[in-house]
Structure formats: structure tokens, C-alpha cells
Amino acid sequence: MASHTDIAVLYANKPLDTQVTVKAWVRTFRNDQFLAVSDGTTIRTLQIVLNKEEHDEAKLKKLNTGACISASGILKPSLGKGQDIELIADQLEILGECDPNEFPIQMKRHTLDFLREKAHLRFRTNTFGAVFRLRHHLAFAIHAFFNERGFFYLHAPIITGSDAEGAGEMFKVTNLDLNNVPRTEDGGVDFSQDFFGKPANLTVSGQLEAELAALALSKVYTFGPTFRAENSNTSRHLAEFWMIEPEVAFNDIVANQDLAESFLKYCFNYALKHGREDLEFLQEREINEDKLKPVEDRQSMPLIQRLEFVANNEFERITYTEAIDILLNSNHYKKKKFKFDVKWGIDLQSEHERYLVEKHFQKPVIITGYPAAIKAFYMRMNEPDAQGRETVAAMDILVPGIGEIIGGSQREERYDVLVQKCKQFNIPEDHIWWYLETRKFGTCPHAGFGLGFERLIMYVTGMQNIRDVIPFPRTPLNAEF
């Protein structure tokens, strides 16, 4: 099969007056002469100019939207608007036909709901081509960021016997015969006969395993799939999603904030540099979508400006107590514009977070020192405050548009304190004996954070539904493909 050149490479290098071959899918065909094709390597299509006298009518009739073609010819400057180059074809081959009466992705506006039902074909649209190219760029940026800083990439287990958050809602893994489940004398499931000899689940986080590695390798990160069995049908929840979780020995909560801020800025700058054309397309799409929304629901600034805003601003750093005081003293609170109440001890809601970022500080915010009662067992206990309230060295990073994007903490490295926390959270010591042992043998301060990859992609692309930034979303009652 003849070699060919990516359309992105043709636009980048513009090898004019040379013979080239492209292989791509038809977007449009007009006047039996002008063929617009895309191979997915760029948001831009390439115009192929045909001499209809050189091709039989039967072949031309097969040049429908979605058909796959190979074309060879001379690359020339284009006289048409909106394109720099075009291919004057002297050879054309149809590699795969596409019946326009059956192909559902035609050159018209399709709703995102409709395209979710056609997830196997939605890659062929401009919107999803842009989203998934940016997903690639961000994945590459994440590995590049940590590699440049001496981190080691750790593959945390997908099947685990622990619940990192202590929150339940896990998918069970078993090879027991569900039609004939073995039972113990008291009627419970006899997991000793299961594959692992004990209950096992799909992981909700790689954090605990990352901590084990960090206490030997100093700097590690995980980047892999995680699973939550929440029966939640919202625009922000998936049953299967990807998490980035760095863990660093000898880091305290301040160094953790520094790392997370640098990480976000690096990712946004990388997307701005390597995915500019896709961002420009998605920004225009968002502007058009916003025109259909009430003024109060529209974005406060365009997509690219939002990314530059985060990348170019120092993050404000405040404590949870300071955040509560700001909210209580705000006109927004006094005029009862918050849906959820504000008082010390609450878990901040998205509306509170967005007020702090978008109204009060007008820049990204990092909040630390959350109440111990609303955070996970592994977070390091602070000294009680002046009122005797217990807080932990936790942090959340808030950005415009969505609120929280990163959550993390300094970990509790003191063995006796961690054992006591396990009792408070009803976590049996024999379930995480291996985790506790790291606090007995050469313990040290360490810290890390977690970022949901799809949440990051939503922010960078401006997409409003998390199901539109992962290729094949897993949600309640949906496990297609």
C-alpha cells in the first residue's frame, strides 16, 4: 500500500509543487470537483480538486460524507478562502464506501446527547476530534511534567482489597458462580473460595500504593483508571475515570501546594502551545452555545482567556477558616444568595468555591486546613486552633468555572496518630496493615494530591458534560462498546 502524508504535516511543512498522497475521510463534496477531507491529525480539512472528466460518474457518486479515500497529486497554493493549500489530484481511490442513507454522522449539527449514543462514530466530528486530540496532549504533558522533575511512574493495582477513601461504593471483583454462591456457616459469602481468597474490588485510588513507593523512591506518580460504583447520573460523574496522583517523600503541605500549582500551569501552557487550533475551535463553539443560555449561566471569559488566566496568575492561598469568614461577611451571604448554608465545619459547596474564585479573589485559590471530621483518615492532623477545633493539612485548588479541580494533603506519618484515626473511621487495622507498617519502618513527612483527568479535560476544552471527554463513558446502566 502506497505511503501517505498526514494532513497536519502538509499544513505544517507546505511542500508545494511536490507529489503527495493523502488518505482520509470525506467531509463534503461539491460541484463534482471540490472534495474536503479530514484524516483526524488536525482540525483543518484539506481540499482536493478533481477533474471530473477524469473520473467516471459512478465513482464520483460514491464520494459521500464518511467515505474513505486515497488521493495523489501535486500540492498547490489555494486560491479559495479559509485554506492555504490544496491538492490537485491525478489519482483517486475509494478505500471504503459510506451509504448516506445509513451513516448517522452527516454534515449538520448533532446534539451531544445524540452523539453519545453514537460514541463509536463521534470521533469523526470536529468537536470530538478536537476534544480527543487535546486529551492526548494533556496526557503527554502530565508524563512530561513529572519526568522532567525526576518522578518515577508507578502502575498502581486496578484490583485491590482496600478502600483508599474508606467510603465504600466500590465494584466487587469475583469469579464465584453467582448462581451457586458458596456460603459460610453463618450464611455469609465464603470468600475463601474466591479467586483471591478474600473480598476484592476495583480500585478507587492509587494513592495508598503510591505512598508505599514514595517512601523508597522519593518521588512517584500514578496515572491510571479508577472506579466508583456511585449510582449517579450527573454531568460530573463517571463509574470509570482516570486519576493522576503524585506522592512525594519529605514534602509538607506548602511544598505540595507549590507542586500542584506548577503542575496545573504546565498542563494549561502545554495545551495552549500544542492544541491552539483545537482550542480556538472549541472556544468558538462555546461562544455560540452561550448565546442560547441565560446571561447568568454564560462563561465570564472566553475559553483560551480562562486557561491563560490560570497559567499566568499566582494562586491565592488561604485557610478554610479564612474562607468561611470571607463567605460569612460577603454581601452574597447577607442577601441569602447561597443555596447552601455557610458555617464552620461544612464541606464547601461548588457555589461557595466559585464565589471565592470568581467574585472575591478573581484568581485561582488554594484552601488549606479543613476540619478533620470532613476529610479522609490519612490526612495529617494539625494542632487544634484557638477555639480547640481539629483540622488537617488538606488542600483543595479552586479555579474559575468549576471550583475544585485538585484535592490533596500532607499525609499522617505518625504511627500512633494514624492508628487512632483508623479507629475513628472504623477501618480495621488488619485491612491496611501494610500501610501502617510504613509508619513503623523509617517514616517521614510526605504529601501528594489527586486530579481527575476528565475534570482537567473538561476545564481545558470547555465541555460541560464529563461523558464528552472520555472516549467510551461508563455510567449507570451503560457499558456499551
Rounded distance, CA 470 to CA 238, Å? 9
**Residue 393 one-letter amino acid:** A
- Entry pTM: 0.94
CA 11 to chain centre: 29
CA 114 to chain centre: 22
User: Is residue 36 within 8 Å of 16, Cβ to Cβ?
Assistant: no
Q: Which of 396, 311, 403, 397 is nearest to 355 (CA)?
A: 403
The mean pLDDT value of the chain amounts to 94
Say yes or no to pLDDT of 235 above 90. no
What are 413-424's pLDDT values in tens digits? 999 999 999 999
Rounded distance, CA 2 to CA 283, Å? 37
Q: How confident is the model at residue 403 (pLDDT cuts 50, 70, 90)?
A: confident
Q: How confident is the model at residue 1 (pLDDT cuts 50, 70, 90)?
A: low
At residue 322, the pLDDT reads: 97
Say yes or no to pLDDT of 248 above 90. yes
Strand runs (DSSP E) across 302-419, as ranges? 316-319, 365-371, 391-399, 403-410
At residue 168, the pLDDT reads: 58
C-alpha cell at 471: 472516549
At residue 431, the pLDDT reads: 85
Q: How confident is the model at residue 162 (pLDDT cuts 50, 70, 90)?
A: confident
Say yes or no to pLDDT of 427 above 70. yes
pLDDT, average across residues 380-395: 95
What are 335-371's pLDDT values in tens digits? 999 999 999 999 999 999 999 998 999 999 999 999 9
Contacts for 338 with CB less than 8 Å, ≥ 6 apart:
327, 332, 349, 351, 352, 355
Contacts for 65 with CB less than 8 Å, ≥ 6 apart:
26, 27, 28, 29, 98, 100, 103, 105, 106, 107
pLDDT, average across residues 434-450: 97
pLDDT, average across residues 460-473: 96
User: Is residue 246 within 8 Å of 221, Cβ to Cβ?
Assistant: yes
At residue 296, the pLDDT reads: 79
Rounded distance, CA 250 to CA 27, Å? 54
At residue 79, the pLDDT reads: 82
The DSSP symbol for 355 reads I
Say yes or no to pLDDT of 307 above 70. yes
**Domains (range + CATH), the chain:** 7-103 (2.40.50.140), 124-169+204-468 (3.30.930.10)
pLDDT, average across residues 46-63: 92
Say yes or no to pLDDT of 2 above 70. no
Rounded distance, CA 289 to CA 47, Å? 28
Rounded distance, CA 410 to CA 446, Å? 6
